[in-house]
Structure 1
């Protein structure tokens, strides 16, 4: 009877660690953490999505099925690793803030929440290790998603997702046209960045009517200008007493202002990297 031998490497063990850590995080949280609300759903989604995608990557690579997957595998696996790192990082920050700090729950539920937080942090470290092992090195020919601009696209879409979660209530932005413009900026830039990710992973960059490099440059410049306006308008119309609605500014709205500024810096860095991109997409 033939014996199946799975090759081992540092990358394999890092992926296995990420798989186990995310499995423990969402299993413990769902089992006895007594969670409720949209933030809880987001955190569990982050862990479960990362677990499922990492399991898929492990199975495909261990059984040598890369050629049968209708995507660019060199772009796909690092995209999954980067999303896993950022999703678990967001859960590692959001979960203790919303479900550990000043929460009147039983000691058993609190213990479950602490365990989930710890394993979420461990999963974040594991995914960061995977990204470090698989990202492109200077002078190396690699897929676009393994380059700095590709990884920045993942960061941009991940931050936008967190912004959407924080402003899921329309009351946060429907009291002034400038805030609605900010929401339009978040949506448009998210859609375009995600489109770039999907085009690269699906090897469809040649379907564009213009060269991919020119599309990236034009979109990068547009996104920087749009996010600059949102970075200025959101805090002005949310926190200035002359424009804001009834009530004081919540911590969620402050977090959105910070994340907007951070995403602006990511788009600015993306534009700078794209301008001098020397890697070849495969």
Structure 2
């Protein structure tokens, strides 16, 4: 039976979620009225604000109606992880949108950029309050260090996919290998997160933790190859054009390079931590 829980929207976390829903909606409306721009970066920013608004509103509704107690996964883990992910998404949109789509007379774009930064601060505040609340820290997978690294891996992969263009890699086997690495690692990182969040890992007939270790090590090695191959093949005899418009295709190659390096570092740290967790800590 559904009950109404007024405390869920009057406590500090609930108030922050209401603010986040309003602010993300404001960003979406301001940018939509400013006009459509044919750019994957514009689409990413719009997706970010829509995604954050929709799921924040869903969380508010589910907690207000107490339906959150009936979901088949760890609800506190999910909300804590979503706040972290939404913060990352808003941070990326707050950086990307002003760089590519604002000007001195673009008042709506400037307003959307400012509101997006405020929205990032609200989500960051929610993360702080959630982690420091008196009832204790959330102990679910997505709010632990391995879970956070899995979110970072999928987040950086999304930024890579946003910057990729088919013409950049269609004629090069080396770059096609890099795209395959990005795609496979993204799919498996997302799958591991979903299986763990849904508490389905215990149904495997073998040790899921050791399977994750094998995946992490393999993904780290694959990303290390991409970290070398992508800039080698992308920038060989390919200098930045002097008349390159914004966002420039050459700049997108640079974004993919940096995101590849960042993700390779995260995968290496994830591998080291998972090996230590399973083979060292578990034997103590």
Normalising by structure 1, report the TM-score.
0.86
Q: Deviations over 1:246-270 (max 9, x none)?
A: 9797111011101110111111222
Contact 2:150 2:193 in 1 (8 A): yes
Distance 1:277 1:130, change over 3 A: farther
Q: Which residue of 2 aligns with 1:6?
A: 7
Q: Is the 8 A contact 2:5 2:66 kept in 1?
A: no
Q: C-alpha distance in 1, partners of 2:239/2:108?
A: 38
The alpha carbon displacement at 1:200 in A equals 2.0
Q: Specify the alignment match of 1:52 in structure 2.
A: 54
Cα distance in 2 for partners of 1:147, 1:181 equals 31
Q: CA RMSD in A?
A: 2.8
> How many angstroms apart in 1 are the aligned matches of 2:138 and 2:60?
24
Matches within 5 A, 1:1-282: 5-7=6-8, 8-31=10-33, 33-37=34-38, 38-100=40-102, 107=105, 110-135=106-131, 142-167=139-164, 169-241=165-237, 250-277=250-277
Relative to its length, the structure with more helix (as a share) is: 2
CA distance in 1, matches of 2:126, 2:251: 33
Moved more, 186-195 or 62-71: 62-71
Q: What do residues 201-229 of structure 1 show as CA deviations (whole Å, max 9, x unaligned)?
A: 22212233422211221111111101111
User: SS of 2:199's equivalent?
Assistant: coil
Aligned residues between the structures: 268
Unaligned 5+ segments in structure 2 are 243-248
CA shift for structure 1 position 245:
10
Is the 1:136–1:142 Cα contact (8 Å) retained in structure 2?
no
Q: Distance between the aligned counterparts of 1:213 and 1:134, measured in 2?
A: 27
User: Secondary structure of the equivalent of 2:7?
Assistant: coil
Q: Tell me how far 1:120 sits from its aligned partner.
A: 1.1
